[in-house]
Structure 1
Amino acid sequence: MNSVQASVTVPVDPATAFRIFTDEIDRWYVRTRHSWVNPARAVGIRFEDGYLRELWSDGGHVDTGKILAWEPPHRLVWADLINETGRMEIEVAFSPVDGGTEVLLEHRGLDTLPPDVAGRIRRGYSWNIVLNWFADQWKDEWKKA
């Protein structure tokens, strides 16, 4: 298996879901020691200047992804810049469904990683957790949108 997928459905239109996923990522992305490249310095995350960036307390940053496609409100694709041993892409698609938008994330290129790293990603729970952060952190906002 070269990829893993995770999905969540949110009760808003694709344009709103895309905007909240991208423009508001720093509001819903949960800060834990496992969710940062450098937990001691990390203070935020955002899509900026063609990259997904982890922002640091000293004003620096690390680019964790390079944007390959930015197609609001339909999809977003970035190349993973963290796992230097592999060539991976993460695509997030926003599709209208009854009652809202399905947000489907696909992490591709797992066959380019060492087997132990690929195995952790293939189990899929990390992306399910991230998408649940996205949906759960906005429960009150979804009602207003």
Structure 2
Amino acid sequence: MTAAIRKTVTVPLRPDAAFDLFTKGLDTWWPKAANGDRRPRKLRLDPRKGGHLTETRADGETARWATVTRWEPGRNLSLAWVHGGDADEASEVVVVFTPVDDGTRVDLTHAGIGSRRTEMAMLWTHAFLRLPLGRPVFA
């Protein structure tokens, strides 16, 4: 098993607002050119346990990236991540939101990735560089 990806960033927001940026604002900070695909797309996270993270491409085609396994606004989010893979081989994304003096520390762990670790590490690194700004990434 490959090592888990771990990313941390502090955002100048309260935990509930940081959680909203991470979940409701996902489409503003996630890399638009993931996997080398430069077509416009929209990401949506259904805000509940059992909800799905879904991509809708410019041609209307949709793909499920993940299923929400834990939903605690302002505190915790966990996803069974299948982006481009088989649901039976889902990896786990856990995001913890901790209040700190200058905002909220966002700690992400992505475990059980397997052969896509290098690709996912680059994507999370790129995404976490932009998360505090809540602005689109065009890589």
TM-score range, shorter chain: 0.7 to 0.9
Question: Cα RMSD (Å) of the superposition?
Answer: 2.4
Change over 3 Å in CA distance of 1:30–1:2 after alignment to 2: closer
Match of 1:47 among 42, 45, 48: 45
Structure whose CA Rg is larger: 1
* Alpha-carbon offset, residue 34 of structure 1: 2.9
* Alpha-carbon offset, residue 86 of structure 1: 3.8
CA distance, structure 2, for counterparts of residue 121 and residue 32 of structure 1:
12
Q: Is the 8 A contact 1:7 1:128 kept in 2?
A: no
CA distance, structure 2, for counterparts of residue 80 and residue 2 of structure 1:
16
Match of 1:104 among 91, 104, 107: 107
CA distance, structure 2, for counterparts of residue 133 and residue 98 of structure 1:
21
* Alpha-carbon offset, residue 9 of structure 1: 0.2
Q: Which runs of 5+ in 2 are unaligned?
A: none
Q: Is the 8 A contact 2:31 2:123 kept in 1?
A: no
- When the two structures are aligned, how many residues end up with a matched partner? 129
1:31-110 aligned within 5 A: 31-34=32-35, 39-40=38-39, 42-48=40-46, 50-82=51-83, 83-84=85-86, 86-110=89-113
Q: Which runs of 5+ in 1 are unaligned?
A: 139-145
CA distance, structure 1, for counterparts of residue 119 and residue 6 of structure 2:
10
Q: Considering Cα pairs closer than 8 Å and 6+ residues apart, tell me whether 1 or 2 has the greater RCO.
A: 2
| Matched-pair identity in % | 27
Give the structure 2 partner of residue 135 of structure 1. 132
Change over 3 Å in CA distance of 1:16–1:130 after alignment to 2: same
Structure 1 stretches of 4+ with a deviation exceeding 6 A read none
Amino acid aligned to 2:95: V
CA distance, structure 1, for counterparts of residue 36 and residue 119 of structure 2:
14
Amino acid aligned to 1:46: R
The TM-score normalised by the length of structure 2 is 0.79
SS at match of 1:34: helix
Change over 3 Å in CA distance of 1:5–1:121 after alignment to 2: farther
Give the structure 1 partner of residue 10 of structure 2. 9
